Amino acid sequence: MKNLTNLLIIVLCLVAAYTFFYLVLGADGNFTDPKTGMVDHHNPQNAMGMIYTGGPLVGLLIACVLMAITYAIERWLSISKAKGAQSMDAFAKKVVAAVEKGDFNGAVKACDEQKGSLANVLREAIGRFRTVDGDSQLNSEQKLAEVQRVIDENMNLETPLLEKNLVILSTVASISTMIGLLGTTVGMIRAFAALGAGGTVSAQQLSIGISEALYNTAGGLLAAIIAIVSYNVFTTMVDNFVYQMDESILDLMQTLGIRVGGKA
């Protein structure tokens, strides 16, 4: 399902990008000579027409920009949702305080109200502790080890959700620069071909080749900048998120350890 969703997003970005490229940038109004009223797609009259002369690779670069923006928004919404309803620190302190008092129902209720990744992990840990706490066949170390096992399992489920689609941002950052470089190379080939042609040098063909090179370079850099900045920002957010989760889990485990030790 995840792969199908990503494929759909990529296809939609490509369709939107090339629709914009051909229907907006390539509109006749961008190439209509105000003096003669003639339409010449080799003679742009404004900036949008100039960008259109960058060639079909510009459409692909627009798609890269759209994908970078789309996945940046998706990651922001997903990570914000994973944090839960309130501050993670305040929530963790609330749960630990409830566990210290032996109010496990209150702790579980707080997890249900908070939602998010940390709440999911703590809820499962508390539920498992309540199950093993009454088992007289297990000693205190075994009980804590069982709770830690459940925590590790749930952390392995939650962490990939936080990191999901970051690889796509990284890929967009890499390929957009390559596409931009390809467009630059093609544009320079056209420019030098115009210079090398026999007879009078076509200033129009020369300018089209140079503009193709420059607009592809600019498009590749723009897409790469958006993707790289987004990737670094969200990677840092995920690292901080996991660190906060580890701290909260450690506090809970210490509290549970005290309870088990006291009973022992």
pLDDT of residue 206: 67
Rounded distance between C-alpha atoms, residue 130 and residue 83, angstroms: 25
Q: Which residue has the higher pLDDT, 15 or 32?
A: 15
Residue 6 lies in a domain: no
Residue 32 lies in a domain: no
What average pLDDT does the segment 81-107 reach? 89
Residue 43 lies in a domain: no
Residue 29 lies in a domain: no
What average pLDDT does the segment 225-230 reach? 94
Q: Which of the four pLDDT bands, split at 50, 70 and 90, describes residue 235? A: very high
How many domains, the chain?
Answer: 1
- Contact (CB, 8 A) for 183 and 58: yes
pLDDT of residue 44: 77
Residue 177 lies in a domain: yes
Q: Which domain holds residue 161?
A: 61-264
Q: Which residue has the higher pLDDT, 248 or 134?
A: 248
Q: Which of the four pLDDT bands, split at 50, 70 and 90, describes residue 187? A: confident
What average pLDDT does the segment 83-102 reach? 88
What average pLDDT does the segment 232-256 reach? 91
Residue 4 lies in a domain: no
Residue 13 lies in a domain: no
Q: Which residue has the higher pLDDT, 46 or 243?
A: 243
Residue 242 has pLDDT above 60, yes or no: yes
Q: Which residue has the higher pLDDT, 169 or 49?
A: 169
Q: Hey, what long-range contacts does 51-55 have (CB within 8 A, 24 or more apart)? A: 51/25, 51/215, 52/21, 52/25, 52/26, 53/208, 53/211, 53/212, 53/215, 54/183, 54/187, 54/211, 54/212, 54/214, 54/215, 54/216, 54/219, 55/183, 55/186, 55/187, 55/212, 55/216
Q: Which residue has the higher pLDDT, 34 or 163?
A: 163
Q: Collect all residues with Cβ–Cβ distance below 8 Å to 133 and sequence separation of at least 6.
A: 143, 259, 260
Rounded distance between C-alpha atoms, residue 206 and residue 19, angstroms: 27
What average pLDDT does the segment 179-189 reach? 85
Name, of 31-35, 204-208, 218-222, the range with top average pLDDT: 218-222
Residue 84 has pLDDT above 80, yes or no: yes
Q: pTM of the full predicted structure? A: 0.84
pLDDT of residue 54: 81
Strand partners for 32: 39
248: exposed, middle or buried (Cβ count in 10 Å: 0-12, 13-18, 19+): buried
Residue 44 lies in a domain: no
